[in-house]
Structure 1
Amino acid sequence: MSTSIGGLAGSGLLTTLRSVRSSKALTAFSNWHAGAMGHRALGLKMDDLIPEEGPIVGEALRRLPPKEQEERLFRFRRAYALSVSQIELEAKDQMAASEDQPYLRPMIDIVEAEIATKENFDLLDKIPESLKGRNRSS
């Protein structure tokens, strides 16, 4: 009996996971959890909580546009001042769920994909036949 992801059992599993992921209950729980974390009350976005350690996140931060870097620094400084004062932003100034869009995670995904591509390319010991026709020198 095969239980591979590519088989019939896998497609049913993926369909079930997609339906659960898009369910109203899970969406409501996700919104509640994001609000309960408290980062929005300090004016932070979810991606501001990603630790900066490591070369991948460092490279992703370096690639951010200057305006996004300035906004990130402003959010950190404001959150630090609020934290030291032990207060939260007023409700009208808190980060709204609609504003809390990922800005760093997509860049991290790009950097990870580039690293994976480079590592795969470095592991090649010969040029694949399918690529030889594309290169005029081979």
Structure 2
Amino acid sequence: MPGAGPLGVSLAPYIRSSATLTKLFAPVAKWYAGGSLYRQYGLLYDDLLIEERPIVQKALTRLTPREAYDRQFRIKRASQADVLHAPLPRDQWTKPEEDIRYLLPHVQAVETEEKERLKWNTLEVKRK
């Protein structure tokens, strides 16, 4: 489950439902995202999803050609910057407002389809 913690449960919906908790956790979340350095290499959060998972592989096939090209470009550019041991220039960093979840809707759709497929595959047809 994407976004879930180690126990498979995400507290994000609960935190977002409370104005006080949102006010408390938002600065911490921004600090953590900034400290993870993926934005300094021009990556988006969804570029970090583990591609070896079958669900993510299937979701990647659903990207438009432009989205797939942009993803590969960002990953190759970040890999080159990592080899050089230098983040990208500041003007090429990913801005927080540009860091959108472009792959998550596809991953969620694939997960829903897989759950439905499992449900239908467990049905037994009995002849009378």
TM-score (norm 2): 0.80
Spell out the pairing of 1:41-120 with structure 2 (5 A cutoff): 41-120=40-119
Residue 17 of structure 1, CA deviation: 7.2
- The answer as to whether partners of 2:15 and 2:21 remain within 8 angstroms in 1 is no
SS of 1:89's partner is coil
- Structure 2 stretches of 5 or more lacking a match? 1-12
Equivalents in 2 of 1:52, 1:74: separation in Å? Answer: 16
Report the alpha carbon displacement of residue 54 of structure 1 after superposing the two structures with TM. 2.3
54-63 or 37-46, which deviates more: 54-63
Distance between the aligned counterparts of 1:16 and 1:98, measured in 2? Answer: 20
Normalised by the size of structure 1, how large is the TM-score?
0.74
**Residue type at the aligned position of 1:102:** R
Letter in 1 for 2:69: E
Cα distance, 1:25 vs. partner? Answer: 2.0
Letter in 2 for 1:95: T
Q: 2:122 maps to which residue?
A: 123
Alpha-carbon RMSD across the aligned residues, in angstroms, is 2.1
Q: In structure 2, what is the equivalent of residue 27 of structure 1?
A: 26
Report the residue type matching 1:69 in the other structure: A
Q: How far does the alpha carbon of each residue in 1:70-127 deviate from its partner, in whole angstroms, 9 at most, with x for none?
A: 000000110011111111122221000000000111111000000101111222336x
Q: Which has the larger radius of gyration?
A: 1
- Give unmatched runs, 5+ long, in structure 1: 1-13, 127-138
Once residues 15 and 37 of structure 1 are traced to their aligned partners in structure 2, the CA distance between those partners, rounded to angstroms, is 24
Say if 1:29 and 1:68 are closer, same or farther in 2 by CA, change over 3 A: same
Supply the distance in 1 between the matched residues of 2:106 and 2:121 (Cα, whole angstroms). Answer: 23
Give the match for residue 8 of structure 1.
none
Provide the C-alpha distance between the structure 2 equivalents of 1:67 and 1:87, rounded to a whole number of angstroms: 27
